[in-house]
Structure 1
Amino acid sequence: MGHCCHHHHSKANAAGHRHDAGCAPRTEQAPCCAAPAVATDDADRPDGPPSDEEDDRRGSRHHWRIAGMDCPSCAAKIETAVRRLPGVLSAEVRFATERLQVRLTPEITPATVEQAITAAGFTPLPARTTAPGSGAPWWRRYRDILLLLALMLAGAAGVRLSAPAGSALFTLATLWGLVPIARQAWRLARSGSPFSIETLMTVAATGALFLGETAEAAMVLLLFMMGEKLESLAASRARQGVKALMALVPDRALKVTANGLEPVDAGRLGPGDEIEVHPGGRLPVDGVLLTPLAAFDESTVTGESLPVERKEGERLAAGSLVVDVAVRLRVTSAPGDNTVDRILHLMEQAEASRAPIARFIERFSRWYTPAMMLAALLVILLPPLVLGADWQTWIYRGLALLLIGCPCALVISTPAAVASALAAATRLGVLIKGGAALEQLARVDTLAFDKTGTLTRGQPALTALTVYPPYRREQALTLAAGLEAGSHHPLARALVTAAEQAGLTPPTLSHRRTLPGAGMEGDWQGQRLLLCTPEHLPTGTLSEGQQATIDQFRQRAQTLVVLALGTRVVALFALADQLREDAEAGIRALRALNIDCLMLTGDHQQAAARVAGELGIGYRAGLKPEDKLAEVERLGRKGCLAMVGDGINDAPALRRAGVGIAMGQGTDVALDSADVALGHNRLTGLADAIRLSRATHANIRQNVTLALGLKAIFLITSLTGLTGLWLAVLADTGATALVTLNALRLLRFRAG
């Protein structure tokens, strides 16, 4: 919906999601600083607190968390309210993290800022606290909407029995919905935002109520309140993404001390400390590996689809999963500055550097509402005062003009089209988080894809098996599956799955054991059976022909595993992440809409080239999260870019892109960072979503043209006396009905 109201909301969860997504980057804002509390943070400076002269020039920084923000326009209203205060050098709100940063001169106190925030209808909280969650039952949280709906239904039934009774019930319903909105409009007016959407709604409902259109006034208020509640729920849900991101970093760690392993809080670890992490655990910090060899799943950071072997001395990122053996590492990151923390900071930067697009109605109301009110007043006053015309005649015409100027049709036009489109998108299996995202989709001309889990399945599969005589394919598969049975390594699961699909039963092998960072070994028929990568085979095991075969597979970006019995090679397994079944069809459908496609991935060059070559699209490989974010920014400057991803490493890019699109099976962080989620995981749904958004954009233009066109016609006829109040009422209600019916056409949208 296209509105924002704050009078009921007090949610302040841990992260945010934007409703207004611009395609042009905004670079003038600085990144948000994570400060400890409302108090100044100048003590954190390495050179100590600033001098009095420097403090006057720079101002002291203060931070608050803000409860009650449902969309980025809320942030703009808070900034307006705070910047009006004398002594405020700057005020900047981060909608994503609900954080307000203010620079103050000594002449103003933080308490004054808090009073201004409260007066604007929001709740300031200490920087490190979270807003209390709503534990009230659902019927109490939706009480205002439910009572308004009940009064409207009673009014509709009452009209059939007694017109005055029905009209009274509609009047009561209008007053019930109008009072909190008018109160918020008054607060915002006093805080420097006199022509907000709340002001427009107050004028529209009051004008309709004054002229007896109580049913219409109540309906507009109901739609408005429903839109606000949906935005509140969307914002609350989106802010859970940071919680999921931070959950990747364990709160506790095993610190290596002189007395053995000591459990400690991860936040107490500093550079130089030594810790131990067991298989299946995630690294709580960045560090340097002290164990000779180990495998790590780094997909959360790099997007690499397969576990990566790391050697002693190599750097490791927080959030990486230990795959095979217990490891020790030396901590290199300071508290609050590990890789996951930096990804979170990138998300904040991406949010801050985006120029939010003001909603159409919000922009329009800045001049439309006061202009129409002034025009109606002039129509009432000027002819009698200047020309000596009849007061009663021109009061009548002024009231007609006020009714014609009542923006009910305009207010309904955009949310009605958006609501219909969102319902149609849900039926297609596409979740679009709000009208701003829907509008942005219509402008997209470039789509950037992550590789792993987006264009590909995200899991390695057996693509080729070369067996050397006297062994057979079935024998090689069963022996490999027997060695890997029970392992959680992705390559092991791929081999076991291949054996199961072939209907083979793996044998029970004796003396099975894991070779850290290398593979598996066991005994079969009295001989050593080894399954490992070619690099870990004993020297001289591979023949020249076998080495040539391995080189050919590697040129095609295949991962190789060798099965050896004693000193003889039994088989060579080639594995790779495969394309999704609908990837090619999805790319074709997007090209049909004249949308350029390319792939941005953290995977290595060969794997990226293979996937991009199969799809016929461009690519950039070896990108870290910050590299991917920079590439998205670069592409966004050339046009309107949408980013499709599913991993945590994609979250900053999803936020920074004009439109972020997450695969439905992706991580919670990716889903919460995106504007659009493909619930069915079908890439062909991308083209459907873009076609729907373009149809919605056209529908909104039709609605606005229809509403303004009818108003222009009846404006002229009312001023010239050709039409009176009853035709003005008919024009306004007729425009509202036509706009609504036109918007409902979007419900019939079908997938291509």
Structure 2
Amino acid sequence: MSMQRQTRFRIGGMDCASCASKIDTAVRGMPGVDDVSVSVTAGTMTVSHDETSDLDAIGKKVRRLGYSVSPAQAKQPGTHTDQHTHGTCCGGDHDHDANSGRHDHDREGEGDAPVVEGLHGHDHTPMDGPWWKSPKGRLTILSGAALVAAYLVGLVLPAIEIWAFAAAMLVGLVPIARRAVMAALAGTPFSIEMLMTIAAVGALIINATEEAAMVVFLFLVGELLEGVAAGKARQSIRSLSELVPKKALLEDEQGTTREVPAETLSIGSIIIARPGDRISADGIILSGESAIDEAPVTGESVPVSKAKGDAVFAGTVNGDAVLRIEVTAAAEDNTIARVVRLVEEAQEKKAPTERFIDRFSRYYTPGVVAAAALVAILPPLLLGASWNEWVYKGLAILLIGCPCALVISTPAAIAASLSAGARRGLLIKGGSVLETLGKLTAIALDKTGTLTEGKPKVTDIVSYGRSETEVLRLAAAVEAGSSHPLALAILKKAEVDKLDLPRSSDNKALGGKGVSATVEGSEIFFGSRKSASERGDISDAHKQEIEALHADGKTVSVLLVDGQIVGLIALRDEPRADAEDGLKALELADIRTVMLTGDNALTANAIGVRLGIEVRADLLPADKSRIVGELQAEGHMVGKVGDGINDAPALAAANVGIAMGGGTDVALETADAAILHGRVGDIAALIALSKKTMRNIHQNITIALGLKAVFLVTTIAGITGLWPAILADTGATVLVTMNALRLLR
């Protein structure tokens, strides 16, 4: 029995599902190949094969199609124990033992080988630079210039107008036709390139050279846009690794430090993270106590307090103290590297979806050719009918069967829909995404920055012996100048209330405990309950009130004046104004909703109860991706909505990934769609737009095929001839275009 193996390749130049389909078909039929998985966005191909398979021949086959190929066998994850003790967020009573906010507020309960170029004349090389500098961009510009030149020639010399447009058409058609031939030789005879070639040549035969030249140019523009989008998506995946610093401060056995490349760090090395530094490796804190901003990895809405023995992740940001860290994972296996792998693997698992017209053309185009040939030949041969009459009818049927109307029907509707969506702040990355949106039956939503604003707000001010205004005034005075998210929320509240803040002196940041200062002659402390208990008397009644706020998912800070408790301030990241209505709209559409968050269960459940949504909390990026897979295993078509890097694997694993406005570039680029205005209600709007577009497309296909069917019958009956046959195609094209433009409204 032969042993099965998997080999992974980087494929350069894939820009659509049609590309993936051609590669899949070509490689799947090769000796020894058992299965092929191609990802357009990741630019990869994984081949399952036995030892008899010739990998060089596989590479050569793909290069013959015009794509670049290089080996990209992913390194297997290391065997070290994952130390991720995922902290909680934003809930809690300000006790800094568990997890923390940055600066002084410790918040309890807070939780490859060289690329070989492809065929000459058929460029599929990656579009890393400006689009106009790429071979594909230059070809599109040249085709457009030739089209304009043909129009000018037609105005000056009408007698040669037809030849001018024919020449303009050939500028773009020659490489398209070459691609069609190579795809046919590789097992895909009726690719979209072949369809376009037949359409253009058919238009040329009937002397509609102007139409032929325009169709070829628009096809090249569409391919160029697809190439730009695919290149940006791949770049966004590569940019994930840029979150990890290139340099690290390595401590040697003598205790001295030196700067080394982060990729050279080995397990067991000791590194130093200074305040404000990005941590250069996954590790365990050996000494020091600081607030760590884990938002890039876990989505924590508030920085988490870490001390000796706690795990830290590569790419997270150290807060306000020096940390000594023992490295627990090599660079190629740190948290960010795993996120990159998760994104690529999830995208690779997506089955390539062929364009509708490409699939249909496999049967439609050869069927039309066969029908026309039979009409032209059989009656004269079998019935002694006039050759001239039936050849004429055969030619008419070929014109009726010209796929121009079908070619334009789907992309016209999609283009109009994408434009209409963009005007409303709904960005959709292609027709296949637009189609899938309407089929979703479950939506998984991130909490922080998606269902909530992503910024904590003051929710409660509790005073003891002083007014609430005085409690806020003193707390804001102590926090003045801090950039901590919770401090900013308190200062914002003081600004909204137009409070005059007194001057503070002797300000001290007490790592993992709180802040202190002298204000108006009194010693003020503002921080966690635990630290406040060490400085003053916190009664059982006070503790019960703190716990009640904590149970509601709120972060609580205690204010002491000269050792006496005078107030509490509670904060929480509150839901977006339209979150509840947006979720109800999804419920009315019979779509299941679930919250996936890195925050702690208390905080998440408090928001979940308020919004009426199922909650899954304390999740790492891999957990979110896994839950998306579980929903899919239950038979759901799953959409994932998020705004952070930590959402990238789940966004990629979902049938449709949706990035919220204000999210990270990585989320926006990894996702299939984006909601720029950040409204939860726009998720339902995306789905509604998809359903409306699909109805329009079905109408267009009915119009295109219906007219052809009518003229097919009348032509065979001798009622209509060649010119009406031309109108059957051009008229259908006009009608489907006008119908598609209705979507712009």
TM-score (structure 1 length as normaliser): 0.87
- Mapping 1:668-687, distance limit 5 Å: 668-687=665-684
The corresponding residue for 2:576 is 580
Q: Secondary structure at the match of 2:190?
A: coil
Q: CA deviation at 1:577?
A: 0.5
1:289 paired with 2:285, answer yes
8 Å Cα contact 2:200/2:216 also seen in 1? yes
Q: Which residue of 2 aligns with 1:213?
A: 208
> What secondary structure, in the 3-state scheme, does the structure 2 residue paired with 1:355 have?
coil
3-state DSSP of counterpart to 1:538: helix
Structure 1 segment 129-140 matched on structure 2, within 5 A: 133-134=128-129, 137=132
Shifted more, 94-103 versus 632-641: the winner is 94-103
Unaligned runs of 5+ in 1: 1-53
Q: Which amino acid aligns with 2:232?
A: R
Partner of 1:732: 729
In structure 2, do the counterparts of structure 1 residues 356 and 94 end up closer, same or farther at CA, with 3 Å as the change threshold? closer
Q: Deviations over 1:311-352 (max 9, x none)?
A: 321222222221221111111113311111111221122112
- 1:313 aligns with 309
* Partner of residue 415 from structure 2, selected from 398, 407, 419: 419
- Give the C-alpha shift of residue 137 in structure 1: 4.8
Distance 1:417 1:216 in 2: 19
Query: 1:325 corresponds to which residue?
Result: 321
* C-alpha distance in structure 1 between counterparts of 2:143 and 2:288, whole Å: 68
Aligned with 2:16 (options 71, 90, 104): 71
User: How many Å separate the matches in 2 of 1:378 and 1:511?
Assistant: 97
Q: Deviations over 1:678-719 (max 9, x none)?
A: 122222322322222111100000000111111111122222
Distance in 2, Cα, partners of 1:379 & 1:87? 44
Residue in 2 that maps onto 1:445: 441
1:361 has 2:357 as partner:
yes
Q: Among residues 651, 654, 667, which one is paired with 1:654 in the alignment?
A: 651
Q: In the alignment, does 2:230 pair up with 1:230?
A: no
**Counterparts of 1:617 and 1:525, CA distance in 2:** 47
Is structure 2 residue 112 aligned with structure 1 residue 116? Answer: no
Closer/same/farther in 2, CA of residues 58 and 201 from structure 1, 3 Å limit: same
Q: Does 1:245 align with 2:190?
A: no
CA contact (8 A) 1:460 1:578 kept: yes
Give the conservation status (yes or no) of the 8 Å contact 2:127–2:227.
no
Matches within 5 A, 1:498-647: 498-524=493-519, 527-539=522-534, 541-636=537-632, 637-647=634-644
Helix, strand or coil at the partner of 1:239 = helix
Q: Which residue of the other structure, out of 480, 484, 487, is the alignment partner of 1:489? A: 484
CA contact (8 A) 2:445 2:593 kept: yes
**1:451 and 1:75 mapped to 2: Cα distance?**
34
- 1:91–1:693 distance in 2 versus 1, CA, 3 Å: closer
Aligned length: 692
Distance 1:108 1:495 in 2: 65
Q: Percent identity?
A: 45
- Closer, same or farther in 2 for the Cα pair 1:343/1:549, shift >3 Å? same
Alpha-carbon distance in structure 2 between the residues aligned to 1:504 and 1:433: 47
Give the match's secondary structure for 2:331.
Answer: coil
Match of 2:686 among 672, 689, 697: 689
Deviation, 1:455, is 0.9
Q: What corresponds to 1:47 in structure 2? A: none
Q: 1:695 to 1:108 in 2, by over 3 A?
A: closer
The CA deviation at 1:265 is: 1.3
Query: CA separation in 1, counterparts of 2:149 and 2:378?
Result: 43
Q: CA offsets, 1:162-186, max 9 Å, x none?
A: 6543322322222222111101101
Q: Which amino acid aligns with 2:228?
A: L
Q: Which moved more, 1:496-505 or 1:726-735?
A: 496-505
- Which residue in the other structure is 1:385 paired with? 381
Instruction: Measure how far apart 1:476 and its partner are.
Output: 2.6
Contact 2:42/2:348, CA 8 A, preserved across alignment: no
TM-superposed deviation, 1:740: 0.6
Does 2:252 correspond to 1:257? yes
Gaps of 5+ in 2: 73-111, 116-125
Name the amino acid aligned to 1:653.
Answer: A
Task: Determine the structure 2 residue equivalent to 1:181.
Answer: 176
Pair 104,627 (structure 1): closer, same or farther in 2 beyond 3 Å: closer
Deviation string, structure 1 residues 122-175 (Cα, Å, up to 9, x no partner) = 122464157583367569864433444444455556667765433223222222
| Aligned mates of 2:140, 2:18 — CA distance in 1 | 22
Q: Does 1:707 align with 2:652?
A: no
**How far did 1:525 drift?**
5.2
CA contact (8 A) 2:426 2:682 kept: yes
CA distance in 2 between counterparts of 1:243 and 1:289 reads 28
Aligned twin of 1:665: 662
- 3-state secondary structure, aligned to 1:520: strand
Contact kept, 8 Å, 2:36 with 2:48, in 1: the verdict is yes
Q: Is the 8 A contact 1:241 1:672 kept in 2?
A: yes
Task: Tell me the distance in 2 between the aligned counterparts of 1:102 and 1:596.
Answer: 35
User: How large is the Cα RMSD of the aligned pairs?
Assistant: 2.4
Distance 1:244 1:110 in 2: 30
Partner residue of 2:741? Answer: 744
Match of 1:199 in 2: 194
TM-score, normalised with respect to structure 2: 0.88
Map 1:465-484 → 2, pairs under 5 A:
465-469=461-465, 471-484=466-479
